[in-house]
Amino acid sequence: MSKGIFRFGLCGILAVFLGTSTGLSSENPALEPTGHKLSGSNPIIFKLAPERKSGRGYKLVYLVDAPLDVFWKFKTDFDNQFLLSNKFIISHRLVSRQRNEVITENKYSSKPKAIFKWQTTLLPEQYLLKFILLNPEDCGQKFHYGYIQIEALGSRTRVTQVAYFDFMGVSIWVNYPFYGGMSYFLKYTANWEQQTLLELKEKYIE
């Protein structure tokens, strides 16, 4: 699962990018995306206030061109190699799967020597996945957790991913509007998933 926030090489970048960039909004109930706004391929990103005393958060919302059940099968296919087509992921391994709890290990291009160990809990009745980074200290983070909620929107599926995290330089990363920042990373990841699903969805249709 390409659900991680990573430390990019942003040392030396001044925190002058604290304003919002295109497609990046402050959290506001009035700005909740609708099906009309999500009719295209562009994801919508909201900055979230931290749940804890430190750190930051985001809400990422986008559409995928597949029915709910098909996307659920794709999203819960943890024993795969297609994740390696994501340019930020250099290795992926399914460690264990017991009932609705899955452990995976990923390596990312931004921190290639670190192994990110993720625990994902599946709640299929709710079409909900909850994830948490089990070894944040090994990955240069204080904490990282969140959830992915999917729901039917006509013949397509709406995806809402929420995450909270903290690491050195987190405020710069969240607000940096160019390559290497949060907005770029999340948009790329959402667009990559949209395209990858189109290529593979026949595999998940019964």
Copy the structure tokens of residue 134: 């089990």
Asked whether the beta carbons of 170 and 55 are under 8 A apart, the reply is yes
DSSP states along 106-155: EEETTEEEEEEEEEEEEETTTTEEEEEES-GGGGTEEEEEEEEEEEEETT
Copy the structure tokens of residue 34: 């609708």
Q: Tell me how crowded residue 43 is: count the other CB atoms within 10 A of its CB.
A: 23
| Helix, strand, coil tally for the chain in percent (to 5) | 25, 40, 40
Stated pTM of the model: 0.83
The β-bridge relationship of strands 128-133 and 111-123 is: antiparallel
pLDDT digits (tens, 9 = 90+) for 54-90: 899 999 999 999 999 999 999 999 999 999 999 999 9
Which helix H or strand E contains 35, and what residues bound it?
none
Return the higher-pLDDT residue of 128 and 178.
128
Asked whether the beta carbons of 73 and 41 are under 8 A apart, the reply is no
Q: What is the CATH number of domain 29-204?
A: 3.30.530.20
Percent of the chain residues past pLDDT 70, beyond the cut: 81
Copy the structure tokens of residue 3: 């659900």
pLDDT surpassing 90 at residue 133: yes
Domain ranges of the chain: 29-204
The one-letter amino acid at 205: I
What is the chain's mean pLDDT, rounded?
85
pLDDT digits (tens, 9 = 90+) for 32-52: 555 446 666 789 999 998 888
Cα–Cα distances in Å, from 141 out to 5, 105, 138, 179, 205?
9, 16, 7, 21, 38
